[in-house]
Amino acid sequence: MNLGQWIGLIALTISLYILWQIKEALLLVFAAVILATTLNRLARRLQRLGIKSGFAKLLSITIFLVGVIGFFWLIVPPFIDQFEELGKQIPQSVVRVNDWLLEFRGNLPSQVIPSIPDINSLLNQAQPFINSGLESTFALVSGSLEVILKILLVLVLTGMFIADPLSYRKVFVRLFPSFYRRRIDGILDQCEVSLEGWITGASIAMFLVGFLSVLGLTVLQVRSAIALGVLAGFLNLIPNLGPTLSVVPAMAIALLDSPWKPLGVLILYFFIQQAESNFITPIVMAQQVSLLPAVTLISQLFFVTFFGFLGLFLALPLTVVAKIWVQEIVIKDVLDQWNIKPKTQAECVIVADNVEINTSEETAIIENEQAIIVDEDIEDKNMNDESADKE
């Protein structure tokens, strides 16, 4: 390796190290890109109704904010009330269980009584777990400010991306060599189409899971059925783990009515999860995003290991985008070209005996022309959007 190659390798290593150090910030930027893509698609649909571009974007952001506020307004107050009541009933339930155990112990032979656990000893054994849970709750509350700041950052970035998306796209494309910019621009188009497909599929799956949950919980006469159904639909964004997380509050609230009702809720969520895993998601996602189930699970394990809960939440869209980049760059542009024979010497050598060619100047001219072509393509997209808005 010559000096230039060593410098390039060192620069690449330093760049990868810097990107790894700011991986959490990059995830937040990616979350903003997903949200901006969603709202931009909504704005395009509004433009088809005759609404101008600026007002359509503002209206899409307003609809999103109203939806977020409505989500928390629908979820938080009922859960607070129900869990307060659950907290009041837990001591009464403990007393009832203790009385039942004492009565049960009194009817047993004296030889068997020592083997029956006492409720007080069970509570003493559970005390370390209770203390650990309280410490985790305190840590969660103390970290809530950081979460709020991250959410605000994502919302601000989303607004910036929606306001002028083509300018940010042009900046990103210019980070690549001029001869490859048109190729990168095409890959970004494919990523946008794939993300829109994932958003459509995820929205349909969320609606169906939420509707089935509300319907089943209403039949079981569980309190706050609508709030629990909305939560189940939202958590369905997290494949495999989301349905498991959504069943916990539903079973806890069902415990307020009857000690046997949580079993019915568990059976209900089991059948909903089976329907979602075997019918809803495969049918919907097969038409929108072609991802193998094993690839989805492996991507979840990878992203949650290296990026935490945010990586788990964004695992599926990250996998969708990564699939496009690997397929287009690594497979098509590198591996598929690996065994292609180079051109013959007669085809490569075009320099005559008495002609001297300044290759550096020609390369610069070609690169400038390619850069201008890519910029013109992006400007043409902007002009097409503006003309569509005027129409």
pLDDT at residue number 346? 42
Mean pLDDT comparison of 139-148, 205-214, 272-281, 329-338, highest-scoring range: 205-214
pLDDT at residue number 271? 92
What single letter denotes the amino acid at residue 83?
A: F
Q: Let me know: does 328 contact 48? Beta carbons within 8 Å.
A: no
Calpha distance 94→127 (Å, rounded):
14
Calpha distance 167→181 (Å, rounded):
15
| 373 Cβ contact partners less than 8 Å away, ≥ 6 residues apart | 182
pLDDT at residue number 127? 58
- What digits encode the pLDDT tens for the residues 299-310? 878 888 888 878
Provide mean pLDDT across the span 185-211.
88
Calpha distance 314→31 (Å, rounded):
7
Q: Which residue has the higher pLDDT, 9 or 386?
A: 9
Provide mean pLDDT across the span 180-203.
88
Q: Which residue has the higher pLDDT, 36 or 297?
A: 36
Q: How confident is the model at residue 383 (pLDDT cuts 50, 70, 90)?
A: low
- What digits encode the pLDDT tens for the residues 80-92? 777 777 677 666 6
Provide mean pLDDT across the span 290-318.
81
Q: Let me know: does 379 contact 186? Beta carbons within 8 Å.
A: no
Q: Is the pLDDT of residue 115 over 80?
A: no
Q: How confident is the model at residue 351 (pLDDT cuts 50, 70, 90)?
A: very low
What single letter denotes the amino acid at residue 266?
A: L
How many angstroms separate the Cα of 135 from the Cα of each of 122, 138, 139? 20, 5, 6
Q: Is the pLDDT of residue 267 over 90?
A: yes
Calpha distance 199→320 (Å, rounded):
11
Q: Let me know: does 33 contact 172? Beta carbons within 8 Å.
A: no
Would you call 251 exposed, middle or buried from its count of C-beta atoms within 10 A (0-12, 13-18, 19+)? middle
Calpha distance 230→132 (Å, rounded):
30
- Tokens representing residue 104 in the block: 């049960």
pLDDT at residue number 361? 47
Q: Let me know: does 187 contact 42? Beta carbons within 8 Å.
A: no
pLDDT at residue number 98? 67
Q: How confident is the model at residue 360 (pLDDT cuts 50, 70, 90)?
A: very low
Calpha distance 236→205 (Å, rounded):
8
Would you call 95 exposed, middle or buried from its count of C-beta atoms within 10 A (0-12, 13-18, 19+)? exposed
pLDDT at residue number 311? 83
SS3 state at 70: helix
Provide mean pLDDT across the span 34-63.
88
Q: What is the mean pLDDT of the chain?
A: 77
Would you call 277 exposed, middle or buried from its count of C-beta atoms within 10 A (0-12, 13-18, 19+)? middle
What single letter denotes the amino acid at residue 358?
A: N
Calpha distance 217→229 (Å, rounded):
8
Residue extents of the structural domains in the chain? 3-102+147-338
- What digits encode the pLDDT tens for the residues 124-163? 665 565 556 545 555 555 556 777 888 888 888 998 898 8
Which residue carries 């810097």 as its tokens?
Answer: 18
pLDDT at residue number 357? 42
Calpha distance 100→106 (Å, rounded):
10
Calpha distance 36→160 (Å, rounded):
9
Q: How confident is the model at residue 369 (pLDDT cuts 50, 70, 90)?
A: low
